[in-house]
Structure 1
Amino acid sequence: MIHIKRTSSTAKVLTDKRLKSTRRPGLTRADLECEKAIEYYTVTLPAEQAKVKAKNAQAALNGGALLDSPKIKFPFSVYGDEHVVKELMTLFHKKCAYCESHFRHVTPADIEHFRPKGAVIINGSLEHPGYYWLGADWDNLFLSCPRCNRKDQLDVPGVQSTVSGGKGNHFPLLDESKRVRKHGLSLADEEAVRLLLNPCIDDPEAVLRYEDDGSILPKRRLRKLNRRRADTSISVYGLWQGELRDKRKELLDQLKLELITIERFLRMIDRMKSAGESPADIQTEQDVLDMHMGVLKGMFEPGAEYLGMLRYQLRQELEPGRAGDRLVRVGLDLTKLLV
């Protein structure tokens, strides 16, 4: 996971205030949907629930059949607008905001609400409503793979079993008393105690580290809240799951191999020049070196997978005596890849 600088949206459903509405002119579609959601969750739904409760109370006295509670369903749609989706694809470079996996043509992206819109899990129980007023809020929308976004059974590394993982309606807080349940209130106090890393606000690279097998862990010597955020994010987003760990390890091994290969070619070319070998032979080796340098640079492009892990490993390799440090000593500035 890496930090993503969120830009303003230009999608018309979020910005165009020329919406023709006889009731409230000058609204965006997002504004109108937010108003309707507020009305539904604070007026319409409570009224329906009160009617059912009253009828059931009467039925209980008369021995009649009880009615089911009204289904809680509001038709949020603005967040799925094609222009919103396109902007999120661009913002997150067609990668999951959480695990940094690419979206393939067989794996559609989910538009994820950081704060769940319809319901939220509180103390292990699904509670309605969620953050209904943020259903079309640009800052609350993320691009996520189904594995990170949806509750599912994920494989456990090294064990022939699965456990439940994926964000779903989770939004855990360090202090539940700070949770905001109604629109119009400030989220500032809640923000201070949220336990999930927000890649558009936080710097995940400051709190996450990686092992040689691709495992992801909190960094050592973190402050209490940062450690809780790292631990909780790894757990809730399912960043620990086996297939993802294996994919990270595969890329990590490739990075190590590229660094070693580049070092070998640099030394070989230096020896060839010292030995007075032909320019043509030297150029042949230089072409191969350039190819490997291109591969290395490509691994650190903004749209590349698992940048958080690769940057972490490169920082390790730049420590004295490691491959990256040796390359720096011969004039190859790898720190540019960390920008």
Structure 2
Amino acid sequence: MIPVAHEADPPATLKVFHEKTVRRKGGVRLTRAASETERAIAHFTNAAHYAGNKKVSKENFVFRIYSEKEVSDYLDGKFNKKCGYCESAMAHVTPKDIDHYRPKASIEGAGYAYHPGYYWLGANWHNLVVACPRCNRSAGHEVPGVNDIQQLGKASQFPLLREGVRVRSHTGVLDDEEQARLLLHPYFDQPGDHLEFGEDGLVRPRIQPDGRPSEKGLHSIEVYALQRAALVEQRKKTLDDFDFLVRDAAHLIAMHAHVRNARARRSNEAQLQLVFVKMAGFFGAKAPYQAMLRQYLERHRGSRRFAALRRAGLDLMDLLAA
């Protein structure tokens, strides 16, 4: 997971939030998103639908704004067609989900169950995250080092450090529970402060200044299924492929010192340039697993692993500025 730049207000290109309006009595005009939010509030606060923290009717409210094409297309660009949680590229493999970071219809997890959920955030711009189905939906997964299949995936989970601060109504103030939320948000957190990626493809909660593992890191790994075996294997393969290019570049540099023929030297230089271009591709906007690769470079920035490249004037740390 990497931080994703986010505007304070919905961009004007999202017409469903700005230009497409609905007429109401008294001449008041609302955006379609605002209108949907008002209807959601009316539905979910109706005792005929929800009472005593339970759903008591069969009638469902259908949220539509978040999945409209204009919203979907904009989020594709925002997340570079990658999962906002695990960073896997999705466009060529599976359709994306648009996840509500705070679940809209119900909130359910180990030790807590609430109906309804954060119904007033169904069309809220700050609450929409592109996610792959493996992170967003509950399913059985293999986990390295664990014998049994684990049921993982976000679904309707939204754990808090203290349940007593959970906001249960549209009249509440979300700031009251911000300090207690336990899931990383790509808009509002620096995930690298909480997640540490190893060269084995595994991810661990980063140790905090107080000496304890990050609570946000720990819960995000579990809820977003970031330790599922298939994902761990793919991260490791990506890092192995990048490391192969590092070794290939070092080999070409070593060969260059012994090449005397001008044509051979030019060929060697061209190959080295091609390898470096391929390395840079691992840090392109649409490339997966940026958090792991960036930590890998930072971890080895002064080590012998990159020494040959540095002597040749190739500083891999420049890739971080790409």
- TM-score, normalised with respect to structure 2: 0.91
Q: Does 1:116 align with 2:103?
A: yes
Task: Report how many aligned residue pairs link the two structures.
Answer: 316
CA offsets per residue over residues 264-323 of structure 1, 9 Å max, x none?
A: 212322332xxxx222111111121111111100001111010010111111221332x2
Distance 2:307 2:180 in 1: 39
CA contact (8 A) 1:154 1:241 kept: yes
Structure 2 letter corresponding to 1:327: L
CA distance in 2, matches of 1:185, 1:219: 32
What letter matches 1:32 in structure 2? Answer: S
Q: 2:289 aligns with which of 306, 311, 324?
A: 306
Amino acid aligned to 1:319: G
Does the CA-based 8 Å contact 1:318-1:325 persist in structure 2?
no
Structure 1 residues 24, 237: CA separation in 2 closer, same or farther (over 3 Å shift)? farther
Q: Which amino acid aligns with 1:38?
A: I
1: CA distance, partners of 2:206 / 2:200? 16
Deviation string, structure 1 residues 85-115 (Cα, Å, up to 9, x no partner): 0000000000000000011444110010000
In structure 1, the residue matched to 2:309 is 327
Deviation at 1:263, TM superposition (A): 1.8
Q: Which residue of 2 aligns with 1:42?
A: 45
* Paired AA for residue 28 in structure 2: P
Aligned Cα RMSD in Å? Answer: 2.2
Residue 14 (str. 1) matches residue 10 (str. 2): no
Change (3 A) 1:271 1:25: farther
Q: Is residue 2:226 matched to residue 1:242?
A: no
Please tell me the residue identity of whatever aligns with 2:238: L
Cα pair 1:263 1:327 within 8 Å, conserved? yes
Aligned amino acid, residue 288 of structure 2:
E
Q: Which structure shows the higher helix fraction?
A: 1
Q: Could you tell me which residue of structure 2 aligns to residue 56 of structure 1?
A: none
1:254–1:48: structure 2 CA closer, same or farther, 3 Å change rule?
closer
Determine helix, strand or coil for the equivalent of 2:257: helix
Counterpart of 2:277 in structure 1 is: 294
Picking from 313, 316, 329, the partner of 2:299 is 316
For the Cα contact (< 8 Å) 1:2–1:308, is it kept in 2?
yes
Secondary structure of 1:250's counterpart equals helix
Give how far 1:180 is off.
0.5
Encode CA deviations 1:161-220: one digit per residue, 9 max, x unaligned.
Answer: 411000011110111111101103221121111000111111111221122220000123
* Residue 249 (structure 1) shift: 0.5
- The 2-side partners of 1:49 and 1:171 are apart by 20
Segments of 5+ residues of structure 2 without an aligned counterpart are none
Q: Determine the C-alpha separation between the residues in 1 that align with 2:286 and 2:181.
A: 28
Q: Provide closer, same or farther for how the CA distance between residues 190 and 329 of structure 1 changes in structure 2, counting only shifts above 3 A.
A: farther
Q: Report the CA distance shift for 1:224/1:123 in structure 2 as closer, same or farther (over 3 A).
A: farther
Residues in 2 aligned to 1:226 and 1:72: alpha-carbon distance in whole angstroms: 43
Structure 2: how far apart are the matches of 1:72 and 1:153? 30
The answer to which of 242-251 and 277-286 deviates more is 277-286
8 Å Cα contact 2:138/2:151 also seen in 1: yes
Please give the alpha-carbon distance, in whole angstroms, between the structure 2 residues aligned to 1:337 and 1:204. 19
In structure 2, relative to structure 1, the CA distance for the partners of 1:42 and 1:226 (3 Å cut) is farther
Partners of 2:106 and 2:114 within 8 A in 1: yes
SS of the residue 1:239 aligns to: coil
Q: Does 1:152 align with 2:123?
A: no
Aligned 8 A contact 2:3 2:191 in 1: yes
Q: CA deviation at 1:155?
A: 1.3
Aligned partner of 1:31 among 30, 34, 59: 34
Q: Distance in 2 between matches of 1:336 and 1:210?
A: 20
1:158-173 equivalent positions in 2, closer than 5 A? 158-159=145-146, 161-173=148-160
Alignment of 1:226-305 (within 5 A): 227-272=214-259, 277-305=260-288
Q: Which moved more, 1:97-106 or 1:249-258?
A: 97-106
CA distance in 1 between partners of 2:26 and 2:212 (Å): 46
Quick one: percent identity of the two aligned structures? Answer: 38
Alignment correspondent of 1:62 = none
* 281 and 224 in structure 1: CA distance in 2 versus 1, 3 angstrom threshold: closer
Alpha-carbon distance between aligned partners in 2 of 1:218 and 1:290, rounded to the nearest angstrom:
37
